[in-house]
Structures are given as structure tokens and as C-alpha cells.
Amino acid sequence: MSQPILSPVHYSPGLWRLAAQRLWSDAIGRYSFLVVAGYLLVVVAVLFGWVAQDWDREVAVNYAPPSGWVTAANRVVVPPSTLVVSGPVPLYGWTDPLEPQWSQAQTYARTASREAPHYLLTLPFGADKWGRDVGKKLLKGTQTSVWVGLVSALVATLLGTFLGALAGYYGRWTDDALNGLYGVLTAIPYLLLVFAVAAVFQQKGVGTLILILGLTGWTGVFRLVRAEYFKHRSREYVLAAGALGASHGRRIWIHILPNVSHIVLVQFSQNLVGFIKSEVILSFLGFGVPVSSVSWGSMLNEAQNELILGKWWQLAVTAVAMAIFVTAVSLLTDAMRDALDPRLRQ
């Protein structure tokens, strides 16, 4: 009996699959990917309210030291409760325009149960000046900072890719005009530009931050993508597509874009690091997140005065969290570039 001989099936693994394999086989790439994934998990968890929703609750005494680091110098004495129930005061001859509601409310307030809140004397990561848990603040701050970095990097990358593609593909006056815009933006020192845009917006908030960073940060992506399109637009496969009747749009977005997408991806992760650092700087200088939120930058800002008083924990945990993340993303970016473009390895 003879059985049909099954010829072994040859899959030709795609660019992305190969890149993923190369990335995973690289120890640095693997670990940095895991670290970044861990942070993203935190972002998602906080974003959906699974953890750290109550980060601004005051659970401990002011500047409660981290557990295990309690010393004579930083031990906090619990302050006496400051709740003074107000009694009637002399009105010096005036009649209260809010009577009788005022007296009723006062009677209610006097009889209302007021339990003195119980404050912890120590927390795993310590407490800030209002007695908020630095650990939870860190989670919330991580979410804000990474989220701002991610979304603004996305905005900047999309914008840069779109404009870069148009400039590189069409050339001529489109290229000239967009290059002009690029020139203007890059002629201004980056932080000055960011401050100028921040001043224009006038309003503080995470959305504003994202817009500021996104609108000022697309130039790097633009330059690289434009150069790639310049190269690709006269390649044979593009010409062939044109000959088969593909429209310009199709050639730009369907044919060329996948071939330059690895550059876009690397740029995205580089921007991510850059924007997180920019957010920290902006918040540190007071242009960043409003008081209703917290980010790495605002935590570092608070920590500058605390450190002088010997309250080091907020600075320490924020700096460590930020250093790990920024390093991991940078290493991951390197590994991705290696994985996506093996020729660079040589």
C-alpha cells in the first residue's frame, strides 16, 4: 500500500511573526516586554477602577513613614481632633437672613454622629502630607503618566505618519508646505514650544496635556516616514500597483504603509518615553495635571519640599517606578528595532 506522500507544508512566516519570535528569543527584549506589560496592566486596572480608586482618601497621619522605616525622627504624633462643634455666637444686633434654616442645620449638626476617623501610623509606602497612601498615589500616578504618554504618542505618531506619508509620496508643493511647518516647529527649542502651547491652552487637565504633547511631538515621526515614502514611491511594487489602477490613497495606505510600519512602531515607543518625561517635567513645573489628579510629575513636585524635611519616601517610590518604566520601554524599543529590522544588527 502506498500512502500519498504529504509534502511538508511550508509556511512563510510574516514579518510580524518573525519579529515577535526574534523579540521573545532576546532575553532583554523578553523581560522589558514583561515589565512594560505589567505597567500597562496597572494602567488598565486603574483606568477601569479596579484598584486605587480611593487614592485621595486620607487614611494615615500626615507623613506617616513607610512600615519598617519608622524612626524616632519621622514618627508622627497623632494630632488631636480639630472638629469643633460650633455653638451659637452673639450676632451683635443683626438678624440672620438664613433663619430658621441656619438654626435647624446647626441643631442637626450638633446632634449628628461624628466619629473621629482612625488614622494609620504607618503604611507600606508611607503617606504624603495629607496622609494619603503613597502606594495608591503611585498606582494612580502611573496610570496618569503612562496614559498621557501612550495617548499623546499615539496622536503624535498618527499625525506624523499621516503628514509624512503625504509629504513623501506627493513631493512637490505638498512636501514644501509640510516641510515648512516642520521647520518652524523644530526651530523652536522643544520645552519652550511646549510651554508656549501650554500657555495658549490656559486650561489644565489630562486632555490638554495630551494635546500639547501630541501637537508638538510629531516632527520626528514625520521626518522618518517622509524619507521612507520618498524611497518607496518609486519602487517597483508601487509602480506595479499604480499600473494595475490602484489609486494614490490605496498606494499610500495599503501598499506602502505596511512596509514602513516597523519604523512607525519604533518611533511610537520612543515618543512614549519622551512624552512621559515631558509630562513629568510639565507637571513638575506646574503646567501639568490639575490638583484633582496625580501623576509622576506632580508627585516629584511635591517631593522636592518634602525631601528637605527628610520625608524621602514619595520621591523614592516615584523615582524608582519611573526609572524602571522608562528603562524598560527604552530597552524594548531597542529590541523591537533589532527584531523588526535584522539588518541593523550587523
24 binds other proteins, rule: CB under 8 A: no
> Rounded to 5, what percent of the chain is helix, strand, coil?
65, 0, 35
Shortest reach from residue 144's CB to other proteins, in Å:
16
Q: Pattern 29-58, binding to other proteins, x per CB under 8 A? A: ---------------------------x--
What does the alpha-carbon distance between residue 286 and residue 211 come to, in Å, rounded to a whole number? 17
Residues 15, 336 contacting (CB under 8 angstroms)? no
Burial of 68 (0-12, 13-18, 19+ CB in 10 A): exposed
Q: Is 108 in the site for other proteins (CB under 8 A)?
A: yes
| Residue 290 binds to other proteins (criterion: CB under 8 A) | yes
Q: Which residues contact 182 (CB under 8 A, 6 or more apart)?
A: 219, 222, 223
The rounded distance, in Å, linking the Cα atoms of 201 and 182 is: 21
- What string marks each residue from 62 to 81 as x (binds other proteins by CB under 8 A) or -? x----------------x--
ω before 100 within 30° of 0 (cis)?
yes
Residue 93 binding other proteins, by CB under 8 A: yes
Determine which residue in the list 31, 51, 106, 162 makes contact with other proteins, applying CB under 8 A: 106
CB of 296 to other proteins, least distance (A): 15
DSSP string, 60-111: B-TTPPBTT---TTT--PPPPP----------TT---TTTTHHHHHHHHHHH
Please report, as residue ranges, which positions from 109 to 138 form the binding site for other proteins (by CB under 8 A): 109, 112, 114, 129-130
Residues making up the chain, counted from first to last? 346
Binder among 189, 308, 343, 345 for other proteins (CB under 8 A): 308
Closer residue to other proteins in complex, CB, 48/94: 94
Q: Does 12 bind other proteins (CB under 8 A)?
A: no
Count of chain residues binding other proteins (CB under 8 A): 40
- Binding track, positions 227-266, relative to other proteins; x by CB under 8 A: ----------------------------------------
Contact between 327 and other proteins by CB under 8 A: the answer reads no
Q: Contact between 207 and other proteins (CB under 8 A)?
A: no
What cell was used for 190?
Answer: 522643544
| Other beta carbons within 10 Å of 167 | 25
Among 98, 120, 196, 239, binds other proteins (CB under 8 A): 98
Closest separation in Å from C-beta 303 to other proteins? 10
Q: Residue 297 in contact with residue 284, Cβ under 8 Å?
A: yes
Instruction: State the Cα–Cα distance between residues 312 and 323, nearest whole angstrom.
Output: 16
C-beta of 301: minimal distance to other proteins in Å?
6
Sequence-ordered list of residues with C-beta below 8 angstroms from that of 33, at least 6 positions apart, any chain: 23, 24, 332, 335
Residues that bind other proteins (CB under 8 A): 56, 62, 79, 82-86, 89-94, 96-98, 101-102, 104-106, 108-109, 112, 114, 129-130, 204, 286, 290-292, 298, 301-302, 304-305, 308-309
